[in-house]
Amino acid sequence: MFIQSTEIVDTFAEAFKMWGTRVVITAASRKWAQAAGRSMTGFATSVIGCKCEAGIERELSPEETPDGRPGVSVLLFGFSADGVGKRLLERIGQCVLTCPTTACYNGLEAEQKVVVGGKLRYFGDSYQIGKLLGGRRLWRVPVMEGEFFIEDSFGVQPAVGGGNFLVLGRDLQVTLDAVEAAVEAMQVPGAIMPFPDGVVRSGSKPGSRYKALPASTNDAYCPTLRGVAPRSELPEGVNCVLEIVIDGLDEDAVKEAMRLGVRAAVREGIVQITAGNYGGNLGQYHIGLHDILGS
């Protein structure tokens, strides 16, 4: 299948069951809301190395937030509900509680919840104040600037992690242009791209020649290893590969983000778009590129 001059390979992205949550952070200004959001989602690119994957889903206007201040919504994913709870405790405790003027609210209505504010409240050393409004319990934790206001519990739900596609380009610049356009087009509610500005250059394969490593460089897609790797997947004329990884609160969000991204990435100079999988043996979700493009 071709879109313009770009070949879309008839393959699928292999995605995994994860657990996800949404955190709404507000602050006195957009600057501080963004600061807290960026801090909380730092070092959260891969669940293997960072224990979770996270990203800013979108910016929120004052009209969209519970306290009428500017905000951001953050999505965070982990391998278990319990794991998501632990990561929230760490990251909200270190990155949002610490950030001037912020407040933190649950942004996901779900059957299952993890306690976060109900634990962080102990930072208040017994001076914390509990509030219950509209069925939601919240905590006021005194801090040097005033008070940190946080919801007691956050919703968690089964989610999908590891949706992906690879953009194979003629050179670095055209490939960068393609993935930047793709990420910009992939702003879908319920989905994030956890790598730096949504893009990863160091795609991996499972296993390594070094016993201690669970994963290693994806040699089949490394241009410098075209003549060395046991099996190169690079078509002729490809000199650069970049990948976009997508996590979503549900499969539809991942599919929609992938569809928009692939559509935006195709252009002259992008030879091929394909997807990463493990033969279909590991992941619970198989997202076919041709399926999402409606062929």
Contact positions toward other proteins, by CB under 8 A?
26, 28, 66-69, 101, 103, 129-134, 138, 140, 146-147, 149
Smallest distance, other proteins to C-beta of residue 68, A: 5
Residue given tokens 């004052």 in the structure block: 62
Residue 127 Cβ, how far from other proteins at the closest point, in Å? 8
Please report how close the Cβ of residue 283 comes to other proteins at its closest, in angstroms: 40
CB contact set of 162 (below 8 Å; sequence gap of 6+): 13, 14, 15, 16, 18, 245, 246, 247, 283
Give 48 or 129: the residue with its C-beta nearer to other proteins: 129
3-class secondary-structure state, position 240: strand
**C-beta separation of 64 from 17 below 8 A:** no
Residue reference for tokens 């102990």: 122
CA separation for the pair 14, 278 (Å, rounded) = 7
State the nearest-atom distance from the C-beta of 47 to other proteins, in Å. 32
Shortest separation between residue 32's beta carbon and other proteins, angstroms: 12
Place of tokens 């041709």: 290
Nearer of residues 134 and 227 to other proteins, judged by Cβ:
134
**H helices present in the chain, as ranges:** 30-40, 47-50, 81-91, 117-120, 172-185, 251-265, 289-292
Inter-residue contact 110 to 58 (CB < 8 Å)? no
Q: Which is nearer to other proteins, 71 or 169 (CB)?
A: 71
Q: Which two tokens stand for residue 110?
A: 């779900």
How far apart are CB 90 and other proteins at their closest, in Å? 22
Pair of tokens at residue 174: 């055209």
Task: Give the nearest distance from C-beta 59 to other proteins in angstroms.
Answer: 19
Measured in whole angstroms, how far is the alpha carbon of residue 86 from the centre of its chain? 17
Secondary structure letter of residue 86 according to DSSP = H
Pairing label, strands 103-106, 146-151: parallel
Between 25 and 52, CB nearer to other proteins: 25
Judge contact between 65 and 71, C-beta under 8 A.
yes
